[in-house]
Amino acid sequence: MNKGFFSQLFVMFFVAILSVSLIGLFFGSGAQQYSSLFSLGSSGVSFVTIFQLLLYSIVISLLKIFLFSERIFKKVMMKWRAALLVFGAFITGIIFILFFHWFPYDYLPAWVGFLVSFTTGFVLSLTIVLIKSRIDNRKYDTLLSRYKEEKSREVK
């Protein structure tokens, strides 16, 4: 595994733990009876939940490595790989919800909360990526302009 895998894994795991911790802090007592994620109520996050979130982070990180592998997906455009990653993360989330009983499969408010939080996380991530991409593009455009100026001076 490369260093990118572990840094991505740790960031994803950190965000997952932070999100569940904050939600648990404010809503854990009410969610305790519905969700295994909040089995300790507002008192904290259980070790079982921590390891489940770590496993989820590992699965998504491996999925990203697989989907963005140039050996396997040579001719697939980047936007389709990203769409597959989002879809895969969504499906993996549903599998984890059902398998680990994160909340009852027939409890509509929990599903609405999942959809809202997944969509919010996706939109925030997309926004950050787009902003970073714009900043990088400006930086590279500036560097390219400087390089072209230097080359045109050398030619004259």
pLDDT at 76 over 60: yes
pLDDT of residue 34: 82
Please give the mean pLDDT across all residues of the chain.
88
Interval 35-52: pLDDT, tens: 888 889 888 899 999 999
Sequence-ordered list of residues with C-beta below 8 angstroms from that of 156, at least 6 positions apart, any chain: none
pLDDT at 115 over 80: yes
Residues 89 and 63 sit within 8 Å (Cβ to Cβ): yes
Amino acid at 23: I
Residues 41 and 24 sit within 8 Å (Cβ to Cβ): yes
What are the CA-CA distances from residue 83 to residues 67, 76, 97, 101, 109 (Å)?
10, 11, 21, 26, 26
pLDDT of residue 116: 92
Residues 140-154 have a mean pLDDT of: 87
